[in-house]
Amino acid sequence: MRIHLYTTFVDLTKAFDTVNRDGLGKIMQKFGCPERFTHMVRQLHDGMMARVSDNGTVSEALAVTNGVKQGCVLAPTLFSLMFSAMLVDAYRDERPWIRIAYRMDGQLLNQRRMHFRSRVSTATIHELLFADDCALKTTTEEEMQRSMHLFAAACDNFGLCINTEKTVVMHQPSPNTLYTAAHINVNGTQLKAVDTFTYLDSNLSRSTKVDDEIAHRITKASQAFGLMQNVVWNQHGLHLSTKRKMYKAAILPTLLYGAETWTTYQKQARKLNHFHLSCFRRILKLCWQDRIPETEVRERTCILSIYAQLKQLQLRWSGHLLQMDDERLSKRLFYGDVAMGSRRQGGQVRRYKDTLKTSLKQLQINPESWEDLARNRSTWRRTVKTGAAIYEANRIAAAKIKRAARKSPAPRINIANAQALPTRSRCHRTFHARIGLVGHLRTQCINNPTIQNSTSTSVNPTSDSFTLTPGINSISPSIIETT
């Protein structure tokens, strides 16, 4: 869509340690948490003591009256409750947002269903939250500045502090428009404008492409693979199946982290697959001099290529979105689109739904009835797994056929030798293309004009005339030179 997107990634100073426990209890009651559960949370945090160790010396016990427990599985949920209440209080009167239009009924891949405005619903998006990681979003710089003023005031009311050194802003311009860095101020300090930012360990770029993220994933996976080089991959006592399980458990999740939401092109998938195969070549102790093709490496290791795994992950995630409640934001985004802006004319940038439709076809799943299959979790997982295996088998078979044809090519038929080439009888010059003959005639007729013998009354072409061969004449009429 041709709209601008401004995102501010907010970092809070000591977020978990500055939570007011009395205020947290009131917020839990306001959200409808049972009184028994609220009382248990209070008992969990009451009476907390801490000691400070410095050069082997331990201080006396200190009472901890603020914050939630670091490392506790309940802490992110408790902080999210308080953070949500703070956002409601901050944007009570005015709320800058991004409006999306969605429709749950009808087929997902049928874009015409969005033309019936009476059946289309709308929702708004302003912030993305995960524990203390917050990303505020607007479509204009003025709205973002106003949003940050309200957010900073709410943080002061709830006892939180914004870290202006780590809080950054990113401007993602619409296609074919000039990029301008965003100027956002918080408490008199201008925030840093960045081109890329790592949010929840995913690399986001202002170009909205996944090239930087793929390079980041390959770097992370390469580091993880190198750490296990001497421990696992070079151990001759470990069976190949054990090494494959270690690779699938440690390296592959690092390489394909967040790949369910990627919209990839063939070039990007090829980079991932190249790294994927290079890892297994190192595990199998293969070098390029061995001249072992990709198909044989995959058959030895019994693992899917990155092409098949990307499609499998995307379809499994799409089925998971389909099974969500209609109130979930992820499902609304999946079934909707930005209500503002329009797509550009001409060639379009690939969208997630475009990749989804291609994956369904390549895994031999009907794009019109896939939603019925996806409503049953076990059936959908089995269908996707079977389709990925079929797709991989077809890829291997096609690669073998292509390699066999390249190794033993059929004799090429020279079309030029199969039929006589056009020749001019006067100079006996042979031309490999008709355009060369025409140019030669034009040049010779202009530069060397001759006078035809007046006594000649023959209407047939003279010995100096030339014609194209029958093979050429069948395509275009003969060209006769008269002198």
* 116 class by beta-carbon count within 10 Å (0-12 exposed, 13-18 middle, 19+ buried): exposed
The token pair at 366 is 């009907």
Question: What residues contact residue 53 under an 8 Å CB cut-off, 6+ apart?
Answer: 59
Taking the domains of the chain in order of start, what are their residue ranges? 5-91+126-205, 211-407, 416-450+463-483
- Asked whether the beta carbons of 360 and 367 are under 8 A apart, the reply is yes
- Asked whether the beta carbons of 150 and 354 are under 8 A apart, the reply is no
Q: What is the SS3 assignment for the chain? A: CCCCEEEEEECECCCHHHCCHHHHHHHHHHCCCCHHHHHHHHHHHCCCEECCEECCEECCCEECCCCCCCCCCCHHHHHHHHHHHHHHHHCCCCCCCEEEEECCCCCCCCHHHHHCHHHCEEEEECEEEECCEEEEEECCHHHHHHHHHHHHHHHHHCCCCECCCCCEEEEECCCCCCCCCCCCEECCEECEECCEEEECCEEEECCCCCHHHHHHHHHHHHHHHHHCHHHHHCCCCCCHHHHHHHHHHHHHHHHCCCHHHCCCCHHHHHHHHHHHHHHHHHHCCCCHHHCCCHHHHHHHHCCCCHHHHHHHHHHHHHHHHHCCCCCCHHHHHHCEEECCCCCCCCCCCCCHHHHHHHHHHHCCCCCCCHHHHHCCHHHHHHHHHHHHHHHHHHHHHHHHHHHHHHHCCCCCCCHHHHCCCCEECCCCEECCCHHHHHHHHHHHHHHCCCCCCCCCCCCCCCCCCCCCCHHHHCCCCCCCCCC
pLDDT at 418: 52
pLDDT at 288: 82
Query: How far apart, in whole angstroms, are the C-alpha atoms of residue 224 and residue 255?
Result: 10
Output the CATH code of domain 5-91+126-205. Answer: 3.30.70
Query: How far apart, in whole angstroms, are the C-alpha atoms of residue 170 and residue 193?
Result: 6
Query: How far apart, in whole angstroms, are the C-alpha atoms of residue 55 and residue 129?
Result: 39
pLDDT at 97: 78
Query: How far apart, in whole angstroms, are the C-alpha atoms of residue 364 and residue 383?
Result: 9
pLDDT at 453: 43
pLDDT along the chain (483 residues), means of 10: 87 89 90 91 88 88 86 89 89 78 87 83 87 90 92 90 93 85 91 93 90 95 95 92 95 96 94 95 90 90 94 96 92 85 74 93 94 94 96 94 82 56 69 77 64 42 42 39 40
Query: How far apart, in whole angstroms, are the C-alpha atoms of residue 462 and residue 447?
Result: 21
